Structure 1
Amino acid sequence: MWAEACDTLLRAERLHRQFFLPRHAPSSLPVWHPPTDVLETEREVLILVALPGVSPDAVEAVIEDGVLRISGLRLLPAELRNAVIHRLELPQGRFERRIPLPAGRYATPVRHSLVDGCLLVRLDKAG
């Protein structure tokens, strides 16, 4: 009985590792949605998006019909792709977040930068 239990645990561990292996070919569909804060001042709307390990150059941020769409790809660094994964809590793969904006007009282009592991999007109010 003990041997069966150990065998079951080993099979479960193998399945768990297979399930959490990063994809090698990025999908066109988003696989995760980063948490986001939206703040508004008199002159601008600020959006903070938690994207640790993602370069701001790898992020697309565009306004479409009153919604800010933020999308991109977060991949494991190449040197870690063949590592044994003991814990993988930071999401990997394609991400996308659609954030409804407060009513109004915004100056373009959309400006964004990386601040303390968060993408900071600044939308200047137009007019």
Structure 2
Amino acid sequence: MKVRDPTIWMWGEALDMLERADRLHRQFFQLSGAGRASPTWEPPLDIFETASQLIVMVALPGVTADAVAVDVELGAIVVRGQRRLPAFCANCDIRRLELPYGNFERRIELPGQQLQLGARRLEDGCLTLELNKLGVP
């Protein structure tokens, strides 16, 4: 049986912890826009591209469609809203809280090509935005 080198194992654990800390920092400490309630977290997203579209999927577990706003700005789309604690939490002690709650905002920079916001769906905890490329058949 091969003996594991503890320095390599410890270095890997340290890097994993730094990565988790960095991810939490990005989620919870984002700058806010003026005149709005300050966002406290930034939802993660995926962006896919086809010949005719950009498809953006934003992870918003437990967020209702009426709690999300999508604004198209010059060169970007901004997704903002609020994730509230469940109603039963009013009379309970929280033992662990890993999913972020409160106001959120995510600014998505767009490529230089012209895009038009098409379909918008919120299902299975993900907001899917379809951005159609203009001038593409």
TM-score, normalised relative to structure 1: 0.72
Aligned counterpart, 1:84: 93
Letter in 2 for 1:112: R
The Cα shift of 1:107 comes to 2.1
Aligned CA RMSD, in angstroms, stands at: 1.5
The answer as to 2:71 corresponding to 1:62 is yes
1:36 paired to 2:37:
no
Any stretches of 5+ residues in structure 1 without a counterpart?
Answer: 1-26
Partner Cα separation in structure 2 for residue 46 and residue 81 of structure 1? 37
Offset, 1:123? 1.0
Code of the residue aligned with 1:76 in structure 2: it is L
Secondary structure in 2 aligned to 1:90? Answer: coil
Task: Give runs of ≥4 in structure 1 deviating > 2 Å.
Answer: none
Aligned counterpart for 2:127 among listed residues 114, 119, 123:
119
Residue by residue, what CA displacement relative to the aligned partner does 1:55-109 show, whole Å, maximum 9, x if unpaired? Answer: 122111122111110000000122222211011111000000001112211224x
Larger RCO, structures 1/2 (Cα 8 Å, 6+ apart): 1
User: Which AA in structure 2 matches 1:75?
Assistant: R
Q: Which whole-Å CA distance do the structure 2 matches of 1:35 and 1:61 have between them?
A: 15
Match of 1:96 among 105, 108, 132: 105
Contact 1:56 1:112 in 2 (8 A): no
Aligned residues: 100
Task: Provide the identity percentage.
Answer: 46
